[in-house]
Chains A and B, each alone.
Chain A
Amino acid sequence: KAGVTQTPRYLIKTRGQQVTLSCSPISGHRSVSWYQQTPGQGLQFLFEYFSETQRNKGNFPGRFSGRQFSNSRSEMNVSTLELGDSALYLCASSLWGTNTGELFFGEGSRLTVL
C-alpha cells in the first residue's frame, strides 16, 4: 500500500512569492491534515480536510490556505512568503472518525524562503 506522497520535497522561494504544496493520501483515507514543523516549535497544526471541506483550522494567518479535491488529494498554498515561513510542511492522512485518530505522515516538503 503506497504511503502519503508529498511534492515537491524541497523548494526555495524568495520573500513575497507564493508557493503551492501537494499531498496524495493513502488510498482509502479521506482525511488530510497539514502541519508545519520548525526548529524548537515542534509540529503545529495548520488545517484538516475531509470530503473537500475544511473541518479544523489552526492559528495561522490567512496567507496559509488549503483545499481538498474529490479524489482526496490536497494542496496547501502560502502567499506573500515571509522568512519565518521556512519550515518542513508535513501532510498526514487518516481514516475519518477513528478512535485514536492515528495519522500517517508523508516525508514532508522543505520550504526555504530567502
Chain B
Amino acid sequence: DQQVKQNSPSLSVQEGRISILNCDYTNSMFDYFLWYKKYPAEGPTFLISISSIKDKNEDGRFTVFLNKSAKHLSLHIVPSQPGDSAVYFCAARMSGNTPLVFGKGTRLSVIA
C-alpha cells in the first residue's frame, strides 16, 4: 500500500521554463510534507517543506503547493536550470516522531 505516490517517473523541461513535479498521498493523517533532491552517487538532500496548515511555501526558485482536500502537492521550479536535473522525492510524515514516507521519485531533466 503506497501512501505517497509520484505517478510521473520522468519529466523533461527546457531551461528557463517552469518544472512542475506532482505528488499524491492517501493518508489524511500526514502533517508535514517535504521534497528531496538526489543526484547520482549522492544521498538525497532536503529542498523544501510545508506544514499541513499552509497551502504554499516559497524558497527562491522553489515553491511547494499543498491541496489538502485533493491530497495533492506539487513542487514548482522556476526558472528551471540544467543543474536542477536530478531525481526528486516527495515525502510525508505524521506528527509525533513518525518515519518519513517517500514516493518513488521523479527524474527531472532540464534541457539547455
| Partner-B contacts on A (CB < 8 A) | 4, 33, 35, 40-45, 48, 50, 55-56, 58, 90, 92, 96-97, 99-108
Please indicate the chain B residues that have their CB under 8 angstroms from the CB of A45 in the complex. Answer: 99-102
| Partner-A contacts on B (CB < 8 A) | 6, 32, 34, 36, 41-46, 49, 51, 89, 91, 93, 97-105
B104 pairs with A100, CB closer than 8 A: no
Please indicate the chain A residues that have their CB under 8 angstroms from the CB of B49 in the complex. Answer: 100, 102
Q: Taking A42-B105, A99-B51 as contacts, is the C-beta distance between A58 and B99 under 8 angstroms? A: yes
Please indicate the chain A residues that have their CB under 8 angstroms from the CB of B103 in the complex. Answer: 42
Q: Taking A101-B32, A101-B93 as contacts, is the C-beta distance between A43 and B99 under 8 angstroms? A: no
Please indicate the chain B residues that have their CB under 8 angstroms from the CB of A99 in the complex. Answer: 32, 51
Q: How far is the CA of A40 from the CA of B98 in the complex (A)?
A: 24
Q: Taking A42-B102, A42-B103 as contacts, is the C-beta distance between A101 and B97 under 8 angstroms? A: yes
Please indicate the chain A residues that have their CB under 8 angstroms from the CB of B104 in the complex. Answer: 40-42
Q: How far is the CA of A48 from the CA of B102 in the complex (A)?
A: 15
Chain B nearest Cβ from A89, distance in angstroms: 11
If A56-B97, A101-B98 are given as contacts, then 5 extra A-B residue pairs at C-beta distance below 8 Å, sorted by A number, are A40-B104, A90-B44, A103-B46, A105-B36, A107-B41
